[in-house]
Chains A and B, each alone.
Chain A
Amino acid sequence: MRDFIRYGAILTVICVISGVSLAFVYSKTSVIIEARQAKEAMKAMAVVLPSATDFEPIPAIELSAASGGAQGVVEAYLGKAAGSTVGAIVKVESAGYGGMITMLVGMDTQGVCQGMQVISQSETPGLGANVKEEPFYGQFAGKKGVLSLVKEGGQIDGISGATISSKGAVAGVNKALNIAKALLGM
Chain B
Amino acid sequence: MSAFKEFKKGLWAESPTFAMLIGMCPAMISSTAVSNAVGMGLAATFVLVFSNLFISALRNMIPDKIRIPCFIVVIATFVTIVDLSMAAYLPDLHRILGVFVPLIVVNCIILARAEAFAYKNGVVDSIADGLGMGLGFTLAVIILAIIREPIATGKILYAKDFGFEGIKLIPAKFAAALVDKPVGGFMTLGFVLASINGITSRSKKAKQASAACAAKEV
Contact = CB atoms under 8 A, between A and B. Distances in A.
Chains A and B directly touch (beta carbon < 8 Å): yes
B76 A7 contact: no
Given A18-B74, A18-B77, A125-B177, A7 B88 contact: no
Interface stretch (A9-17, A83-91, A174-182): A9-17
B85 interface: yes
B191 interface: no
Nearest to A40: B91
B69 interface: yes
Nearest to A26: B84
Contacts of A18: 73-74, 76-77
A21 B73 CA distance: 12
Name B's interface SS. helix
B63 interface: yes
Contacts of A26: 84
Contacts of A127: 177
A21 B77 contact: yes
Interface in A88-142: 124-127
Interface in B65-86: 65-66, 69-70, 73-74, 76-77, 80-81, 84-85
Interface in B149-173: 152
B66 A11 contact: yes
Interface string A12-47: 001100100110011001101100100000000000
A127 B173 CA distance: 11
Given A124-B177, A126-B177, A36 B91 contact: yes
B62 interface: yes
Interface residues of B, number: 24
Given A22-B81, A32-B88, A15 B73 contact: yes
Interface residues of A, number: 21
A25 B74 CA distance: 15
A30 B83 CA distance: 11
B206 interface: no
Contacts of A11: 66, 69-70, 73
B9 to A, nearest CB: 29
B74 A7 contact: no
Contacts of A30: 84
Contacts of B88: 29, 32-33, 36
Given A7-B66, A11-B66, A126-B177, A25 B85 contact: yes
Contacts of A6: 63
B84 A29 contact: yes
The list of the 7 closest CB pairs from A to B, nearest first, reads: A126-B177, A32-B88, A18-B77, A29-B88, A29-B84, A125-B177, A7-B66
15 contacts: A3-B65, A6-B63, A7-B65, A7-B66, A10-B62, A14-B74, A18-B74, A21-B81, A30-B84, A32-B88, A32-B89, A33-B84, A124-B177, A125-B180, A127-B177
Interface of B: 61-63, 65-66, 69-70, 73-74, 76-77, 80-81, 84-85, 87-89, 91, 152, 175, 177, 180-181
Given A6-B63, A10-B70, A33-B88, 18 more contacts: A3-B63, A3-B65, A7-B63, A10-B63, A11-B69, A11-B70, A14-B73, A18-B73, A21-B77, A22-B84, A25-B80, A25-B84, A29-B84, A29-B87, A32-B88, A32-B89, A125-B180, A125-B181
